[in-house]
Amino acid sequence: MGLGGCIILIAVGAILTFATDWDMQGVNLDVVGVIFMIVGLIGVTTFSSIAKRRRVVVPPATPVIDEQGHHHHRDGYGGV
């Protein structure tokens, strides 16, 4: 489930909790809405923490001068 699915869960939960007055036999829609919102918030926090770990910072290229005086640029990972 991606970020969009988590936001939809939060929205549906809020609608069930605050905007409806339906009565269903054996089901408390307020509790179901709160559960949806909690699961959506857990999903958003999990998704954002995973997205932060996936970000890769590429160091800037640094110029390298070899023995013949030619300029090369390193790509930041040891390659030329």
pLDDT band at 67, cuts 50/70/90?
Answer: low
**Element of type H or E holding 35:** helix 29-54
pLDDT, average across residues 67-78: 58
pLDDT band at 54, cuts 50/70/90?
Answer: confident
| Residue linked to tokens 């998704």 | 47
- Give 3-40 pLDDT, tens digit per residue: 899 999 999 999 999 998 888 899 999 999 999 999 99
- pLDDT value at position 53? 75
6 C-beta neighbours (distance < 10 Å), count: 20
pLDDT, average across residues 32-49: 94
CA distance 1 to 10: 13
- pLDDT value at position 79? 52
